[in-house]
Structure 1
Amino acid sequence: MRLKRFLLRYYPPGIAFEYEQGGKLKTRCVDLLDLGPQSDVERVVHKIQEVEPLVTPSRLDSVRSIVHRLQEKQTKGPWNKVQLQKVLPVHRLPLTNVEFDKPGARFLTGSYDRTCKVWSTSRGEEELSLEGHQNVVYAVAFNNPYRDKIATGSFDKTCRIWIAHNGRCLHTLHGHTAEIMCLQFGPHGRLLATGSLDCTARLWDAEHGDMLALFKGHTEEIICLNFSTDGHVLLTASFDRTVSLWDVNTGRRRHNLVGHSGEVNSAKLSWDGSLAASASVDKTAKVWDVGSGKCIATLTGHTDEVLDICFNSSGKLVATASMDGKVRIFDTIEHRCLTVLVGHEAGISKLCFSPQGSRILTASTDQTARLWDVLTGTCLQILDGHSDEVFCCAFNYTGDSILTASKDNTCRIWH
């Protein structure tokens, strides 16, 4: 077993070790989810050496240098307001969904006009128009980290896979019997999952277009799904008030998470895959243990339905967005509410942590997006200018560019 090179992952921090064994090139990764500006580098290096035999004494200086670099990236710099760079009237008919590629160099928009468009973030120009669906294009995704394929899910009951650099349709995936509402590529870019109003999710080979598994068990439509970071678990959330955890390799359901008294609006897995979180019409969110399938906390305090939920990269914080116009930030150890973000004048439909975890971005029906300080709950900046509900918002990989999408049929790029 011979170490070939180190690969760094800045957000969340980690080191991949690429090595040769038996003539084959392999990779192992050590996650450093707790690494921060105040971490003791020598202690971190020692822990890495304990769990990774590839780190021999001759490699310690290299590992120490890498940890310093990762630590610098986690440091919260001085706050600088973002400036509006572009306003893009992106489609003739209403927008449905948007997504950045991993570095934020390009982004996708889906629309009721039956197309998906690919845009250059820096130039604010349309690069490709993906045409062929016979109904609304509702869900869109890049196969990060490779970014050589794009998937689109449509109300025409099909999913299409496209070549990202030229817009050629590689596969049209048939099988769902109702509208496709959500999709996501697996973490290695080779698998694709789709969820539908037909109450099923399906797993596809993104390279060859073959269906690999049918996830059947929900009794109402599936509205969101996501893979675990290792690609072994698929989470699906449904209006049947449950969240399911599926074994990607066998297609079997590991756990059905039952406990909400209202429809589930959103659900996510933590980065390390140990926790799941769900947001519901019943005004609560829940945190679940993925291994046992048991509810370990019910998060309360909102006075209206909870519309979205997300973890920070370490999995130690979970944030909830509600129709009551507030965000609540909880810790996932004691499940206490640490901060309440107050300022929006209407419901908050989406939220996300910055890659460094120091800020939260929110999108609201009050026609604004807002940036917040996670520790203090202070509103750092109001991103205004949209003339209708802001339904989506996202950071790029480094956290210095922001995308907002609105029912006014425009996207805005902020930097």
Structure 2
Amino acid sequence: SSAGVERSFRIVITDVIALVEEIQKEEPLITASCKEHVICLVQRLQEKLGEQEDHKFYLFKVLRAHILPLTNVAFNKSGSRFITGSYDRTCKVWDTASGEELHTLEGHKNVVYAIAFNNPYGDKIATGSFDKTCKLWSTETGKCYHTFRGHTAEIVCLSFNLQSTLVATGSMDTTAKLWDIEKGEVVFTLRGHSAEIVALSFNTTGDRIITGSFDCTVGVWDVVTGRMLHILIGHRGEISSAQFNWDCSLIVTGSMDKTCMVRKLRMH
């Protein structure tokens, strides 16, 4: 029945200052100087959510985005912009509120598969393609800053570090590469997997990156040296996803073996 699909939730009003202080303990980016701003944002959120008791998801817009199927979508941090990648070899930038297409990012010679904003800033976009290249773009103008070349097979995953100084790409060539955003140059090539790399994730401090591979393992790497620190085994099928939690104490991995593993990092 429709009642089983539509779910509502109740907003519980809590002590905003106490809530922000609790968040501040866990979030390294929330400093004392921006605490008041965060309190203000939480208060505004409470006011907005408190306008009605029940909230439901509903269809907002349907956009005829591309002439061929889409591959991936991504929001910027504020949600004001989102991007779509497609088999038509383009990435499009959209205004969320109006549904207006702002830019079409053209230049790839094959499927645009992996896409991301450099959140939390959101002023840059990276696109990874089956043409073996990654491109870096301006969100505001749609201009291409750099084309990163070096992979010998399709790029299927990518990620910015939180500091927005590096973008990492994972490829079907069994390697990942770290690229300097400012210089447009490769910093390290991460070699150690025996099969395709399909997932990667930086930690929040930017000194570690994990790579998930079809060889059923997850690599933990030192971003400063490019050296593999650990190889995590245990899955019996290809890795499909890998992520750090926010405080970098845990790594979670998903696999084609139908299991998910949560691993606790040992701090030295």
Length-normalised TM-score, structure 2: 0.83
The change in CA–CA distance for 1:225 and 1:41 in structure 2 (over 3 A counts) is same
State the partner residue of 1:83: 58
Calculate percent identity across the aligned residue pairs. Answer: 51
Provide structure 1 residue ranges, at least 5 long, that are not aligned to the other structure: 1-35, 294-415
CA shift, 1:132, in A, is: 0.8
State the partner residue of 1:111: 86
Which AA in structure 2 matches 1:278?
A: T
- Bigger strand fraction: 1
1:236 aligns with 2:214: no
The change in CA–CA distance for 1:37 and 1:135 in structure 2 (over 3 A counts) is same
1:186 aligns with 2:161: yes
Structure 1 counterpart SS, 2:177: strand
Q: How does 1:203-352 map to 2 (within 5 A)?
A: 203-291=178-266
For residues 237 and 261 of structure 1, the distance between their equivalents in structure 2, rounded to whole angstroms, comes to: 13
Which AA in structure 1 matches 2:54?
A: W
For residues 210 and 289 of structure 1, the distance between their equivalents in structure 2, rounded to whole angstroms, comes to: 33
Which AA in structure 2 matches 1:146?
A: Y
* Aligned residue pairs, count: 250
- Bigger helix fraction: 2
The change in CA–CA distance for 1:37 and 1:270 in structure 2 (over 3 A counts) is farther
After superposition, the C-alpha distances for 1:11-35 in whole angstroms (9 at most, x for unaligned) are xxxxxxxxxxxxxxxxxxxxxxxxx
For residues 128 and 16 of structure 2, the distance between their equivalents in structure 1, rounded to whole angstroms, comes to: 46
Q: Which has the larger radius of gyration?
A: 1
1:96 aligns with 2:71: yes
For residues 63 and 109 of structure 1, the distance between their equivalents in structure 2, rounded to whole angstroms, comes to: 34
**Cα RMSD for the two superposed structures:** 3.1
CA shift, 1:121, in A, is: 0.7
For residues 137 and 46 of structure 1, the distance between their equivalents in structure 2, rounded to whole angstroms, comes to: 40
State the partner residue of 1:320: none
The change in CA–CA distance for 1:130 and 1:288 in structure 2 (over 3 A counts) is same
For residues 127 and 103 of structure 1, the distance between their equivalents in structure 2, rounded to whole angstroms, comes to: 17
For residues 42 and 147 of structure 1, the distance between their equivalents in structure 2, rounded to whole angstroms, comes to: 29
Which AA in structure 1 matches 2:206?
A: G
Q: Please, which of 71, 88, 97 is the counterpart of residue 122 of structure 1?
A: 97
Length-normalised TM-score, structure 1: 0.55
CA contact (8 A) 1:37 1:71 kept: no
CA shift, 1:93, in A, is: 0.7
Q: Please, which of 119, 128, 132 is the counterpart of residue 107 of structure 2?
A: 132
1:146 aligns with 2:103: no
For residues 63 and 150 of structure 1, the distance between their equivalents in structure 2, rounded to whole angstroms, comes to: 29
Provide structure 2 residue ranges, at least 5 long, that are not aligned to the other structure: 1-11
CA contact (8 A) 2:157 2:171 kept: yes
Higher RCO, Cα 8 Å, sep 6+: 1
After superposition, the C-alpha distances for 1:45-64 in whole angstroms (9 at most, x for unaligned) are 69979xx9x97xxx9xx968
